[in-house]
Structure 1
Amino acid sequence: MPAHAPDRSAPFWFRSDLGVASFGFTDARTDLGRGPADGSPAEGPGVVAAALGGRPALMRQVHGATVAVADPEAQPEADALVLDRTGVVAIVRVADCVPVVLVDPDRPLAAVVHAGRVGMASGVASAAVEAMRSRGAERLEAWVGPRACGSCYEVPAAMADEVAAVEPAARATTRRGTPGLDIGAGVVAQLRRADVVVHDLGGCTIEDERFWSHRRQGDAAGRFGAAVVLHEGSGDGTP
């Protein structure tokens, strides 16, 4: 379990530690931007990275299952970043998709994951787990953050059937009785099948105005997300 009770001080909605990793989930108090291509503000990632004590490492998220290594000098096209060195803050940005932080309590390894509908169906969370285990991770824990819930995320019936054929746990019915998807439930199911201990923080971005939501706000939506950093230490699961 985390080394201490969750911290909700700005810029984080949730912040905690495990082993040599410190991590947090932000909210709409901070806009992490959508990336350099759209001219979004660049201050958010820097604020988050400074709060965790490192340099920001971002990715060009494309709704796939590619995993890259976090690097402050590059923004690879990927939907998961593996972190294996100190002083670097790996950041994922979302606004209805599922943000995930993965931590190895025993080794200096962590990751962030962006799992939207396509990414979840493509297995991006599982790909991140495999990438960490290929680097020596054995015991993994995951924190799954706020996202569009299955009661709100309405989709066409054919789309719901297509996604549920890949991940049955993602099938949902909205409050209106229409076909829906619970991408967070799909991600949680995939992580648990991979023998990852899951901490589901819950929360629906469409319902909760504390978070950015593209479905609720359209093009006015900024991005919140999650970030993780590794510190010097024993890597034996102690703070």
Structure 2
Amino acid sequence: MFWWRNEVRPGLWVAFTDTDAGNLALHVGDDPDEVLVRRARLESAAGLGGRRFQYMSQVHGTTVSFIGDDPEPPTADAMVSTGQPLAVMVADCVPVVLAGESAEGSVLAVAHAGRPGVASGIVPATVREMRQRGAEGITAWIGPSICGQCYEVPGELRAEVAAAVPESWAVTSWGTPALDLPAGVRAQLGALGVAVDYSGECTRESPGLFSYRRRQQTGRFAGLVWTHD
């Protein structure tokens, strides 16, 4: 169920699911009832004790949503909370989980960093929102995503993204233009003084993970962050 799971600080957990957890997305043509059952099973496995992960409607935009008491999923590509468990779904894009501490307690965040999001700075925007909420000592965990040797794109698109994030420039293992989105995210985090504790495997090369590039009709796995008292 969990590709990677760790208690990264006392009472603070970060995880990324795998195909054994099943598809967790409601927008890929799956049976909604079955998706909700899988989500509930995941929440039980995480030990949320009746709490639920907050999901969002991801649109490759630049909106960072603060999650308070409103249970409705926001249309956003990043979320920040001061305790609400959070989830971000991907199948090749970069799932980024972040956590910091404020005077009031933990500040949690997740971000969906696909090609548009890396170019437009969704991850730096998330860090800024966390700091506005008082977060210090922020750490990030970059989950499994497609690697630079596998993410082939047209040369013009590579140039466009690399103009904004030079570290994303890459070449596939077969010699064609590519983008290294995880490298771009790591560079953005590094420029903001945010350490990265985990960087996951390539989704296209890992059968235990969903990958849109490997199979377009596919599910979504999740990056998760939550706390236990």
Same fold by TM-score greater than 0.5: yes
1:113 counterpart residue number: 111
Aligned counterparts of 1:108 and 1:157: Cα–Cα separation in 2: 42
Distance 2:26 2:115 in 1: 20
The corresponding residue for 2:12 is 21
Q: Does the Cα contact within 8 Å between 2:2 and 2:16 map onto a contact in 1? A: yes
**Counterpart in 1 of 2:220?**
223
What per-residue deviation string (whole Å, max 9, x for no partner) do you get for residues 68-100 of structure 1? 123561110001111212xx3211100000011
Q: Retained in 2: the 8 A contact 1:101–1:111?
A: yes
Deviations 1:123-174 (A, max 9, x none): 1111111111000011100000110000000000000000000000001000
Q: Read off the aligned partner of 1:24 and give its amino acid letter.
A: A
Deviations 1:30-66 (A, max 9, x none): 1243325845522332222222213121100001121
User: Residues 42, 213 of structure 1: CA spacing in aligned structure 2 closer, same or farther, 3 A cutoff?
Assistant: same
Please give the alpha-carbon distance, in whole angstroms, between the structure 1 residues aligned to 2:38 and 2:131. 31
1:195 is matched with 193
Amino acid at match of 1:16: N
Residue 58 of structure 2 is matched in structure 1 by 61
Counterpart secondary structure, 2:203: coil
Residue 160 of structure 2 aligns to a residue whose secondary structure is helix
Whole-angstrom distance in 1 between the partners of 2:40 and 2:201 = 25
Could you state the TM-score of these two structures normalised by the residue count of structure 1?
0.86
Task: Say if 1:121 and 1:163, in contact at 8 Å, map to a contact too.
Answer: yes
Contact 1:45–1:91 at 8 Å: present in 2 too? no
Quick one: which of 204, 209, 212 aligns to 2:210?
A: 212
Could you say what secondary structure the match of 1:155 adopts? Answer: coil
Among 152, 155, 158, which residue is 1:154 paired with?
152
Superposition RMSD on alpha carbons, in Å? 1.7
Q: Which sections of structure 1, spanning at least 5 residues, go unmatched?
A: 1-10, 233-239
Give 2:120's aligned residue: 122
> Retained in 1: the 8 A contact 2:25–2:89?
yes
Q: 1:89 corresponds to which residue?
A: 85
Seen in structure 2, the aligned counterparts of structure 1 residues 72 and 24 have a Cα distance that, compared at 3 Å, is: farther
Q: Which has the higher strand share?
A: 2
Identity %: 42
Matched residue, 2:137: 139
Q: Structure 1 pair 36/116, CA: closer, same or farther in 2 (3 Å)?
A: closer
**What is residue 30 of structure 1 aligned with on the other side?**
21
The partner residue of 1:103 within 99, 102, 107 is 99
Change (3 A) 1:29 1:72: farther
Would you say the 8 A contact 1:49–1:89 is kept in 2?
Answer: no
Which ranges of 4 or more aligned residues in structure 1 deviate by more than 3 Å?
Answer: 36-40
User: Residue 42 of structure 1 is aligned with which of 30, 33, 36?
Assistant: 36
1:137 and 1:105 map into 2 onto residues whose CA distance is 5
Aligned residues of 2:96 and 2:111 also touching (Cα < 8 A): yes
- CA displacement 1:171-208 (0-9 Å, x = unmatched): 10001110000111101110111110112323100111
